[in-house]
Structure 1
Amino acid sequence: MEHEFWHERWAKDEIGFHEGSVNQYLHDHWAELAGQGTEAVLVPLCGKAHDMWWLHDRGHPVIGVELSEIACKDFFEEAREKARVHPGEPFTTFSHDDLQLWCGDFFQLAPDDLKHVRLVYDRAALIALPPELRKSYVDHLTAVIPDGTKILLITLDYDSTEMKGPPFNVSDSEVFELYQEDYEITQVLTRDMARDNPFAKRKGLRNGASESVFTLVKK
């Protein structure tokens, strides 16, 4: 998936994948993963998710990585917060206290960038990628985060003949296939999304969909 695709989606405000509130699964299951600690969190392909403010409000330093400069600017403007902007390569950083958005290509991250990170929140990264890019994403994430890092992963599965992503459908079995070599995996829950769910109705998913929550620990 080319960078231009995402730049165009943000430029046209075609961001149906954006949630306008804190994700319920994050709210319900974060403490199971992170406990009462305040370790640094990586949010890959973060968009302008409100979830990052939620994590920051709970004391976590946050690094969000996002390709779109529009998303990075909107994130702070919509919260009526000012960000310090530091242009650079390969990332331009937008920062407010210890909440930072790194604007650039996720695949340019290096291990030294994330040596202090111990937690990852992935609601919209894996499911934003078509099948041919998912293994590269997982391989690169694994290469740049420290051993012992914990991940909260949220996925979406549906009949791919009924909808063209993103968000793309990712089955539970694919999660195990992608992560089992390098991670301890716990499937926390799978929940059916009924046909009358607003997302399912909007996307014409006659067979509904399901959402799954996983916790992963890098070995």
Structure 2
Amino acid sequence: MEQAFWHDRWHKGQLGFHLPFVHPILTRYLPAYDLPEGAGVFVPLCGKTLDIGWLLAQGHRVIGAELSERAVSQLFAELGVEPHIEAWKGGRCFRHGDLTVFQGDIFALEPDEVGAVDLVYDRAALVAMPAPMRKSYVAQVSSLSDDAPQLLISFEYDPREMDGPPFPVLPVELERLYTGTHALAELSRKDVIAHQPVFREAGVTRFVEVAWQLLPSGVRGV
């Protein structure tokens, strides 16, 4: 999507993608990755998700990337901490303790700025990308994380019933996007339309949330 679209959503407080609780997929499946304390978890397009505070509480380092400065400011405010802020070529970098968030253009980030990544947690990033941008996004995240394992959440619904974002991303597309870098294993799938009033009102009849484990090719999963 155009950057102006997301800036406008945050400005107007249209945050249907923001959950008021820690995502149960994260708490359920993170142990499967057997991360050591202090592991680096990269959260692209992180918004102000409560998942970040939970990851920090588990003893992990969190590196986020988020376009909206409003979202990043609210994230640190809701964590109750005052970040150190400095400029970087894509925007501004907010840091406090084990949390670093690069506010600005994720495509301007470079691996040495992100540092060591042990896991990518893609909770709402790939599904926010229209189809023409997904290949570039996947390549960028793989580069930033050195093809680290991923916990990825995708959605499946009939695109004739609603225009995204979030967009439906089907298994066949995931296989195509990650061929050569990751092997995919489906962890769970659940129709969550009952908990999506905005989508129900838009006429969506089925909205399936799918959790995926992505491991570097050749590594065995759960």
Q: Tell whether the structures are fold-level matches, with TM greater than 0.5.
A: yes
Matched-pair contact (CA < 8 Å) for 2:65–2:101:
yes
| Secondary structure at the counterpart of residue 46 of structure 2 | coil
Q: Partner residue of 2:140?
A: 140
Amino acid aligned to 1:170 = V
Report how many residues are paired: 216
Amino acid aligned to 1:129 = M
TM-score, with structure 1 as normaliser: 0.92
Which stretch shifts more, 95-104 or 106-115? Answer: 106-115
Q: 1:35-46 alignment to 2 at 5 Å?
A: 35-46=35-46
Q: Partner residue of 2:166?
A: 167
Amino acid aligned to 2:30 = W
Quote the offset at 1:36 in angstroms.
Answer: 4.9
TM-score, with structure 2 as normaliser: 0.90
Please give the per-residue CA displacement for 1:117-141, whole angstroms capped at 9, x wherever unaligned: 1111001100111111111101111
Matched-pair contact (CA < 8 Å) for 1:115–1:146:
no
CA distance in 2 between partners of 1:182 and 1:196 (Å): 35
Q: Mind listing any 5+ residue stretches in structure 1 that lack a counterpart?
A: none
Which stretch shifts more, 30-39 or 180-189? Answer: 30-39
CA distance in 1 between partners of 2:55 and 2:128 (Å): 21
Q: Partner residue of 1:197?
A: 195
Q: Partner residue of 2:208?
A: 210
CA distance in 1 between partners of 2:34 and 2:124 (Å): 19
Quote the offset at 1:38 in angstroms.
Answer: 3.2
1:8 aligns with 2:11: no
The CA RMSD over aligned residues, in Å, is 1.7
CA distance in 1 between partners of 2:181 and 2:104 (Å): 26
Q: Partner residue of 2:50?
A: 50
Q: Partner residue of 2:220?
A: none
Matched-pair contact (CA < 8 Å) for 2:185–2:213:
yes
CA distance in 2 between partners of 1:198 and 1:107 (Å): 30
